[in-house]
Amino acid sequence: MQFENKIICDGLLNKSLEVKMQKLIIYGPAKLMGEIEVEGAKNAALPILTASILAQNKVIITNIPDIADVRHTIEILKYLGCKVLFENNTVVLDSSSIERFTIPPEYAKLMRSSVLFMGALLSKFRRAELSNHPGGCEIGQRPIDLHISAFRQLGIEVFEHNNRIMCRCDKVKGSEIFLPIPSVGATENIILASIFCDGEVVIKNAAKEPEIADLCHFLNKLGAKIRGAGTHIIKIEGVRKLKSEEVVHKVIPDRIVAGTYLCAVAACGGEVVLKNVFPRHLDSILHILKSSGCKIKELKNEIWIKREERLKGGLRITTHYYPGFPTDLQAPVCSAFAVASGVTIIKETIFENRFKHVPELVKMGADIHVEKDIAVINGVEKLRGCKVFARDLRGGAALFVAGLSAQGVTEVMDADYIDRGYERIEEKYSLLGAKILREKGE
Ligand code: EPZ
């Protein structure tokens, strides 16, 4: 593959700001039947692409989902000076010409994971600047205090001024860092900043999400020395430099995309086989759906699910850090149990403002009451299609799932939120028998 800058990303930012948000038109109710491949994980691809600026040679990363957040990350990499080619879910990247260590505000605002460039740029240049607090879905306050306090414990000077964050250090010092919250982003940023540390950095109460293990797997291929990924104690032994060989890495499957398919079958009924998926990453949702009447079989990289009888509600579901029930599936699960029998209770413990999909589901006839961090769902027989608005990525996916089970036509407005994390969602679900159109928004 030659670097021909095939992807002219330069206009992407302006383009994404200018274009009217799109809408998805869903003709319900659908019965989902067939087989579908699950795409690569957004929340592994983004930190791995960020980490690839540290590579001493070309990297080839496969199974990268073709989603908006990936394209935004590629735009940042190009802005920093990397050569990037993205084709057929494969990124080929050469960071030898990287020259900048500042992320401009318009890029920082685009998505939360832009904050991870801090750790990577600090390892690369001993300097990093984020010209604005990171953006991303407005599902809560989402402070970065844990990132900043950890950087300071690593001997990095951090200056904050007018929303700008500037960091610099001569050397990252070996340290023991205890995270009061097993934050995914803070864990990843500490790892990225500690690759060349003096001695060893130990993270205690680290996040255990599979996406972090995938990032560490990639970094170790580059020549880093990281142990304990996937556990609460991660140790990063500093190295003088990384390997000079080319590195190839395949990103893990997206467990949240897979979980959304499972919720859709639970909501609509049908029989589906998910391929290219790791069932062990989905224990919590598989347990919930089995206890609610879905028939499920797990094979090595496949999951078979069948839902005939009406979904049985009555559970109490609480979001938690991995391997607990993921907050990113809370919204799609709301849509599944909105049409289940009985009363289901969902408690959101990770983000303080992640029930914005509920008023939209109520517009469709759902009977859901939210009190602080708890949603009480009285299952109804049917939902009815109408115009609803996505307010964030997973909330948008929940409205999409509700539209699939609803009677009549559902218009999901501002579907661009969904495109941030789901690859060509209407095409994929059409392969399972659903009828969906994509149109420019009003
Ligand atoms: C990652 O976000 C994911 N994003 C999120 O997925 C996911 O919901 C979240 O982890 C939890 O699993 C990516 O990986 C790109 P956190 P992140 O730091 O890193 C608080 C999706 O839909 N906190 O683990 O931002 C924070 O406010 C997205 O794909 C602090 O207080 O999440 C939250 O309450 C949405 N201070 C909790 O910790 C900090 O410095 C967990 O946040 C950092 C976090």
Boundary of a domain, candidates 250, 271, 295 = 250
Is the Cβ–Cβ distance between 73 and 51 less than 8 Å? no
- Note whether 269 and 237 are same-domain residues: no
- Note whether 265 and 208 are same-domain residues: no
Residue 1 in domain: no
**Residue nearest ligand 1's atom 28 by CA:** 328
Residue span of the structural domain in which 410 resides: 22-39+253-440
What Å distances lie between residue 419 and 66, 67, 401, CA to CA? 9, 6, 14
Q: Residue 83 is part of a domain; what is its CATH number?
A: 3.65.10.10
b/e string for 24-50 if b means 16 or more Cβ within 10 A?
bbbbbbbebbeebebbbbbbbbbbbbb
- Note whether 246 and 299 are same-domain residues: no
- Note whether 136 and 245 are same-domain residues: yes
The residue ranges of the chain whose pLDDT is under 70 are 1-20, 442
Residue 2 in domain: no
Is the Cβ–Cβ distance between 197 and 172 less than 8 Å? yes
- Note whether 242 and 276 are same-domain residues: no
Order of strands across the sheet that contains 367-371? 316-318, 343-347, 374-378, 367-371
- Note whether 274 and 212 are same-domain residues: no
In the block, which residue shows the tokens 């003088």? 240
- Note whether 280 and 379 are same-domain residues: yes
CA 328 to ligand 1 center in whole angstroms: 10
- Note whether 75 and 109 are same-domain residues: yes
pLDDT of residue 14: 45
* 9 annotated active-site: no
| DSSP one-letter string for 406-422 | SBEEEEEE-THHHHTTS
Residue 391 in domain: yes
Ligand 1 atom nearest residue 142's Cα: 27
Distance CA 94, CA 92 (A): 7
- Note whether 32 and 70 are same-domain residues: no
- Note whether 87 and 110 are same-domain residues: yes
Q: Which of 137, 169, 216, 263 is catalytic?
A: 137
pLDDT of residue 140: 87
Residue 4 in domain: no
Residue 112 in domain: yes
pLDDT of residue 74: 98
pLDDT of residue 9: 38
Ligand 1 atom nearest residue 326's Cα: 12
CA 256 to ligand 1 center in whole angstroms: 14
Residue 97 in domain: yes
Boundary of a domain, candidates 250, 269, 297 = 250
CA 270 to ligand 1 center in whole angstroms: 33
Ligand 1 atom nearest residue 145's Cα: 40
Our answer on whether the CB atom of 41 is closer than 6 Å to any ligand 1 atom is: no
pLDDT of residue 4: 39
**Residue 218's closest CA among 242, 191, 250, 187?**
250
Contacts of 300 (CB under 8 A, 6+ apart): none
Boundary of a domain, candidates 224, 250, 276 = 250
Residue 178 in domain: yes
- Note whether 76 and 35 are same-domain residues: no
CA 208 to ligand 1 center in whole angstroms: 13
Is the Cβ–Cβ distance between 292 and 360 less than 8 Å? no
- Note whether 418 and 270 are same-domain residues: yes
Our answer on whether the CB atom of 188 is closer than 6 Å to any ligand 1 atom is: no
Question: How many structural domains comprise the chain?
Answer: 2
